[in-house]
């Protein structure tokens, strides 16, 4: 069979990224240009600034991706792009670029759902064995997704309010830490002890999550302690918060694994980089003989390689768009 080279573009938030993936498994070259240092000073991503930087960066990122691969654009068989969910202005830059390339080179345009991309970051580590469950934990999402075949997604649970990464960032902010706070809270948690009396997030028999109560409890605790002149032991607060988050994520994920009788557990999204979560899942999966796959730290956060891998499987299922493809701030992963 002829080799298939897909050039993928990802611009859904504040990373401008392009990647060339061969046959859905071999990463030929990837470039990720992060705007993190620009947004840091504002304490979060500023959508208008993000899209302006994507415009400035996208051609440079594409050129570097081709150079690293020692390839020419005419050797590409299909162009893939994240069409949503994400920041609408940021998505538009990647989308317009991919549409233009598809039109000029007369090659298929493959639309990829951002979360499908995060899930397929795992395929760069190991082949999927179905049925499987993926725990998606990012700045914008907290989902449990069931898959019984390639590019077939069934959402069995989701957050009812804040995403887990979003809660990490808000808790970090009230603790006086920089954006993005997730990695910093994770680091502090490893040095602290679980001494603060924080509530357990939604603990029912559904696969849904709720983190806003826990987040508000941390915010109120910090304000109250400040008001009476008490110091916060940040390591212990980070540890107490992280323990509640991990307890509920692991509990519901293991419940789902049992009910759906899956062979493999995938973990995806920025919070999959969390050391505490990785360790707890490793222990639980070993105990229950479940094959656990987690992407390398660099591929937990946004990148175009994961979009290129997902696109290959979307392409196999004839998921191809025409030039009327629109970007979507919110869109369901289920087909």
Taking CB under 6 A as the criterion, the residue among 50, 134, 271, 285 binding ligand KG4 is: 271
3-state class (DSSP) for residue 246: helix
The interface with ligand KG4 within residues 138-167 (CB under 6 A) comprises 138-140, 165
For the residues of 169-225, what is the DSSP string, one character each? HHHHHHTTPPSS-HHHHHHHHHHS---S--PPP--SSSS-B--HHHHHHHHHHHHHH
Taking CB under 6 A as the criterion, the residue among 111, 192, 269, 295 binding ligand KG4 is: 269
Helix, strand, coil distribution of the chain in percent, nearest 5: 45, 20, 35
The interface with ligand KG4 within residues 248-267 (CB under 6 A) comprises none
The sheet carrying 142-147 orders its strands as 154-158, 142-147, 132-137, 264-268, 291-293
Find the shortest distance in angstroms from Cβ 122 to ligand KG4.
13
Find the shortest distance in angstroms from Cβ 74 to ligand KG4.
32
Q: What is the CA radius of gyration of the chain?
A: 20
Distance CA 262, CA 264 (A): 6
Q: Does 182 bind ligand KG4 (CB under 6 A)?
A: yes
Q: Which is nearer to ligand KG4, 110 or 171 (CB)?
A: 171
Find the shortest distance in angstroms from Cβ 118 to Zn ion.
6
Taking CB under 6 A as the criterion, the residue among 51, 102, 240, 301 binding ligand KG4 is: 301
Element (H, E) at 248: helix 234-260
Taking CB under 6 A as the criterion, the residue among 24, 108, 157, 183 binding ligand KG4 is: 183
State phi, psi for 15 to the nearest 5 degrees.
-110, 130
Q: Which is nearer to ligand KG4, 13 or 18 (CB)?
A: 13
Taking CB under 5 A as the criterion, the residue among 143, 169, 186, 302 binding Zn ion is: 302
- With CB cut-offs between 5 and 8 Å by kind, which of ligand KG4, Zn ion, none does residue 30 bind? none
Q: Does 237 bind ligand KG4 (CB under 6 A)?
A: no
Sign of CA dihedral 258, 259, 264, 268: negative
Q: Which is nearer to Zn ion, 76 or 80 (CB)?
A: 80
Q: Which stretch binds ligand KG4 (CB under 6 A): 67-75, 231-239, 269-277, 314-322?
A: 269-277
Q: Does 138 bind Zn ion (CB under 5 A)?
A: yes
Find the shortest distance in angstroms from Cβ 217 to ligand KG4.
18
Q: Which is nearer to ligand KG4, 78 or 164 (CB)?
A: 164
Q: Does 17 bind ligand KG4 (CB under 6 A)?
A: no
Q: Does 94 bind ligand KG4 (CB under 6 A)?
A: no
Which two tokens mark 139?
Answer: 């700045």
Neighbour count for residue 56 (Cβ, 10 Å)? 13
The answer to whether residues 63 and 91 touch, using CB atoms and an 8 Å cutoff, is no
Q: List strand residue ranges (DSSP E) for the chain, in order.
A: 5-10, 15-22, 26-34, 78-84, 109-113, 132-137, 142-147, 154-158, 264-268, 291-293
Q: Which is nearer to Zn ion, 143 or 244 (CB)?
A: 143
Residue 86 carries which DSSP code? S
What are the angstrom distances between the C-alpha of 158 and each of 109, 138, 240, 273, 291?
29, 12, 23, 19, 23
Residue 334 carries which DSSP code? -
Q: Which is nearer to ligand KG4, 143 or 169 (CB)?
A: 169
Taking CB under 6 A as the criterion, the residue among 19, 57, 243, 274 binding ligand KG4 is: 274
Q: Does 14 bind Zn ion (CB under 5 A)?
A: no
Triad 190, 34, 106: Cα angle to 5°: 135
Q: Does 14 bind ligand KG4 (CB under 6 A)?
A: no
Q: Does 166 bind Zn ion (CB under 5 A)?
A: no
**Residues binding ligand KG4 (CB under 6 A):** 13, 138-140, 165, 168-169, 180-183, 186, 269-271, 273-274, 301-302
**Residues binding Zn ion (CB under 5 A):** 138, 302
């Amino acid at each position: 069979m002829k080799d298939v080279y897909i050039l993928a573009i990802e611009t859904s938030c504040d990373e401008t990224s392009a990647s060339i993936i061969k046959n859905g498994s071999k990463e030929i070259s990837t470039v990720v240009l992060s705007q993190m240092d620009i947004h840091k000073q504002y304490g979060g991503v500023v959508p208008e600034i993000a899209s302006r930087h994507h415009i400035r960066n996208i051609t440079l990122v594409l050129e570097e991706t081709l150079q690293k691969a020692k390839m020419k654009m005419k050797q590409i068989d299909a162009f893939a792009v994240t069409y949503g969910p994400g920041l609408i202005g940021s998505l538009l830059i990647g989308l317009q670029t991919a549409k233009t390339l598809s039109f000029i080179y007369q090659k298929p345009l493959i639309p990829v759902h951002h979360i499908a991309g995060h899930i397929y970051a795992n395929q760069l580590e190991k082949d999927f064995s179905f049925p499987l469950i993926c725990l998606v934990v990012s700045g914008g999402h907290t989902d449990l997704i069931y898959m019984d075949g390639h590019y077939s997604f069934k959402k069995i649970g989701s957050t009812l309010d804040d995403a887990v990464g979003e809660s990490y960032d808000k808790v970090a902010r009230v603790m006086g830490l920089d954006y993005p706070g997730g990695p910093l809270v994770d680091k502090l948690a490893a040095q602290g002890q679980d001494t603060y009396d924080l509530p357990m997030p939604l603990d029912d028999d559904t696969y849904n999550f709720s983190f806003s109560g826990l987040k508000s409890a941390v915010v109120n605790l910090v304000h109250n302690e400040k008001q009476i002149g008490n110091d916060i032991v940040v390591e212990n607060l980070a540890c107490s918060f992280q323990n509640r988050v991990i307890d509920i994520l692991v509990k519901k994920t293991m419940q789902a694994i049992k009910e759906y009788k899956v062979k493999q557990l995938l973990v995806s999204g920025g919070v999959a980089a969390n050391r505490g979560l990785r360790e707890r899942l490793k222990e639980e999966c070993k105990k229950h003989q479940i094959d656990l796959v987690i992407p390398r730290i660099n591929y937990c956060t946004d990148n175009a390689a994961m979009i290129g891998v997902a696109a290959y499987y979307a392409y196999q299922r004839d998921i191809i768009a025409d030039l009327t493809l629109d970007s979507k701030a919110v869109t369901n992963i289920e087909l």
